[in-house]
Structure 1
Amino acid sequence: MTEESSDFKFNYFFGLVNLVAVFLIVWFLWYIFMNPNTVMKLYTPMYGFSLIVVFLSGIILMAKVLKWPAWYNRLFQKDKPITKGILLTIIAFLLMIGLNYIVFWGFIGKFGIAYFSPDSIVASGGIGAEPFVARENASTAIVYFFTAFLWMALFWDLGFGRWPWQNDTYGVQAWSKLFAILFFVVLFYILLFHSHVCYLFYPAQDKAAVTPWWEELAGTGSAFFSLGLILCTLVWIVFSDLLWEGKPWNRYEVDGESTFGKGFVVFFSTLTFGIILIFILLMIFNYVWMEPFVGGQYTDGPDWRYIHAGEIAGFFILAAFIWKNYFNNFPNLDSLWLRALIRSIIAVVLGLLIYWFYYSPLATFFLAKVEGFAQPGDTPLVWALLFLSIILVQSEFFDGWPLKRKK
């Protein structure tokens, strides 16, 4: 049995009810903030996409990097999950506002890299400097940066854990891990995304960035190639963390702590599996929609094929979190490998059901989206990551309340 199942009373029917409640909360938030026919209309789509990715990154930063929920429990009364949850959710929201509007729009974009700020892009003039287009391009860059952050943060938590600061104080561990992660985030952002952002403008900023190195390999210079690859890699990081209970990577631990060897193996193994997954998905797309070609529109575009692979990976990731949090990682058998295999199959099937829902008339009703694949301005990842954010708020900030209650 898992530790979770031994510490908490779990009711599967209540888990299903809780999932329905979370779905309704997500629908309400989507209706208010993202629905193009209602109040805020943030789903443009990249502007809303950037805000959701930054919000999710703030949650991951607090829960997986800085470990604030655990730190809060040590300092304060840990049997009051509602107070803790509300406080940490407010902090995550303020982090989203601060990072997006102050750090990137107001500081980095103003004093450093212009394409992170809509105002700086507009001030530079030229083609593509219209306010709406400028905001979309700046939001695209922010999405890419925080995608790299999510990858590195979740990988580091699984691979390196507290290494090499496991014998230091909480403060040293938290902030050292943060700065180490940020170093690699900047590095991978430059290598995987920066070139594409510079080529969003006309003329291309070829003195600031080289032609995307993956253009010949992928058949497109779009960073959707990198985005899809990272999300396919994250599938394996999330599956092995949530569904496989850290296996098989914990064999590289020493005295229960991660090592450099473990981190090295986790990074390259999950990256390899990510490459295999995206290759399989691309082959399936070729079977359904035929071969893509340069200049192809909608489903015929190579760039869309890569982002669609990432979108499917996003549904798999969402399914894994749903199964872990609302169905207690069923089944909890004695054989780890058997239960891990069954959970993984269930997560894939559930992810495909979510995929079906998103592209069905039901999503047209709930999300006010246009039916069909590759619709302009439609990015399923926004809804999937909003859903994932609410799940993480409940599980990490509210300690699973009201679903999980101590015996």
Structure 2
Amino acid sequence: MIFMEPRWNNIVTGIIGVVITTIIALVFWAVFADPRGPMRMYTPLWFFAITAWLIVPTIWLYLIFENYPFTKLPIKKRAVMIPVSVVITLICIAFFFYFYGPLAVPYFSWPKLESMGVAKLAARDYSCYALAYSAIVAIFGMGIWPILFNNWPWRNKVEQPALGFAVFALGLSISVFLFQVLVHPHFGEAFPISQKFVAATPWWKDFALTYHGNFIFGWFVWAVVYLIMTATIWEGKPWTAARKQPWIGIFGLVGIILLSLLTMYVVLSVMDINLGYAIPGGRRSAGLYWRYLHSAEVAGFMLYPTLALYYYFGNVPKKFSEEVNWAIRTVIVFVAGFIIHQLYYLAGPALLGVPTSWDSEAQLALVWATWWIVPLVYHCWFMDRWPLYKTPVTES
């Protein structure tokens, strides 16, 4: 990213950025996602699948290819990257629906599932769940190398686009491996007849007390959040304490996974205090699968404040020691995320058209939490926050 300075002070610029991107998100939500609107794509997970896949190409373009070849364009004209990214998303979804699903793994394609006798609504639910999961895994898998390993060992040795292709190939391999280990077993148990010959029994069933993939979801979304925090408000810390690659990356990867698991169990403990102990096999808020999902949703509400604090508010504060700055930013994000979480359930039914019951099985707060960051990353990653930020004027 080119060095830019806020057009006004950090607070005013940040507030304007939040207001503008929120309004844009609300307008598009009203058209495409709101159950009361014209498109009504909120269920069954259709808008979630699209939204998650809208983010994946931004990772490819910004983090992996470093906006090549669009860096040659003026900042204003880089808005062309937005439709390019959207087209890539549509191509990816079409690939799963009409090629990979029908020819290899049917649960990625609802047309294929319907042709096999699965009910229309169930087919869409299965395939959109798979698409959303694959996107979340890809966001993490593709982000590991540029964020944690700083593109080691190619950094400063290989130029774009060769660097991008190398990192993309590695990230794709990591993502496919993670999906097969973390997600595919869920689909072996998802259908009426267990697919034990093509998918292993979920390896987490004995200690998670559920076969459901929401156990993975419950900590993996936290891993995505902590990876993004590492790249933004944490400025690489504390993993840079290892001082040298690849140890920084290894320390960061292991640390993020452990921290994510710990956070999930803290969230589950808070739920136990407020809701009573979960019942294996229970439904809605009494069920473990529901609580794992809501751990992921709590994590999702940390995404927007993390990115907004870093890009729109100038990653304040900066006046204290690095350790104190790190701690204050983290607290700001968690407090803001908790407040947003509460506001969502208070205002969501009227503003977004989501279910009024917070434990409804049709309630998926992650849809909004994920969609909300899409206008922000388009603006910040593709357009360097223009016109809210400007190139500093230097005196001759």
Band the TM-score falls in, shorter-chain normalisation? over 0.9
**C-alpha distance in 2 between matches for 1:157 and 1:261:** 14
* 2:99 aligned partner: 107
* 2:90 aligned partner: 97
- Give the deviation of 1:81 after TM superposition: 2.1
- Give the deviation of 1:191 after TM superposition: 0.8
Q: Find 2:363's aligned residue among 378, 384, 389.
A: 378
- Give the deviation of 1:351 after TM superposition: 0.3
Q: What is the SS of the residue equivalent to 2:363?
A: coil
Asked if 1:160 corresponds to 2:152, the answer is: no
- Give the deviation of 1:253 after TM superposition: 4.7
Asked if 1:268 corresponds to 2:267, the answer is: no
Percent pairwise identity: 23
- AA paired with 2:125? E
* 2:385 aligned partner: 400
* 2:196 aligned partner: 206
Unaligned runs of 5+ residues in structure 2 are none
- AA paired with 1:342? I
**C-alpha distance in 2 between matches for 1:292 and 1:157:** 39
- Once the two structures are superposed, the pairs formed by residues 214-233 of structure 1 within 5 Å of their partners are 214-233=204-223
Superposed CA offset, 1:148-185 (max 9, x none): 11111222222112212221232221111111111111
Q: Find 2:184's aligned residue among 187, 194, 211.
A: 194
Superposed CA offset, 1:322-342 (max 9, x none): 211222112121411111111
- Give the deviation of 1:318 after TM superposition: 1.9
**C-alpha distance in 2 between matches for 1:251 and 1:243:** 16
Q: Find 1:117's aligned residue among 98, 101, 109.
A: 109
**C-alpha distance in 1 between matches for 2:343 and 2:134:** 29
* 2:42 aligned partner: 43
**C-alpha distance in 2 between matches for 1:239 and 1:14:** 21
- AA paired with 1:402? P
- What is the Cα-based RMSD across aligned positions, in Å? 1.6
* 1:318 aligned partner: 304
- Give the deviation of 1:71 after TM superposition: 4.0
- Give the deviation of 1:112 after TM superposition: 1.0
Aligned pair count? 389
Question: Are the structure 2 counterparts of residues 298 and 325 from structure 1 closer, same or farther at C-alpha, using a change threshold of 3 Å?
Answer: same
- AA paired with 1:222? H
**C-alpha distance in 1 between matches for 2:111 and 2:188:** 16
Unaligned runs of 5+ residues in structure 1 are none
Maintained 8 Å contact 1:394/1:401: yes
Maintained 8 Å contact 2:188/2:201: no
* 2:170 aligned partner: 180
Return the TM-score normalized by structure 1: 0.92
Q: What is the SS of the residue equivalent to 2:323?
A: helix
Q: What is the SS of the residue equivalent to 1:359?
A: helix
**C-alpha distance in 1 between matches for 2:6 and 2:362:** 43
**C-alpha distance in 1 between matches for 2:293 and 2:173:** 25
- Give the deviation of 1:372 after TM superposition: 2.9
Name whichever of 133-142 and 150-159 sits farther off.
150-159
* 1:25 aligned partner: 24
Maintained 8 Å contact 2:143/2:171: no
Name whichever of 59-68 and 269-278 sits farther off.
59-68
Q: Find 2:327's aligned residue among 341, 350, 355.
A: 341
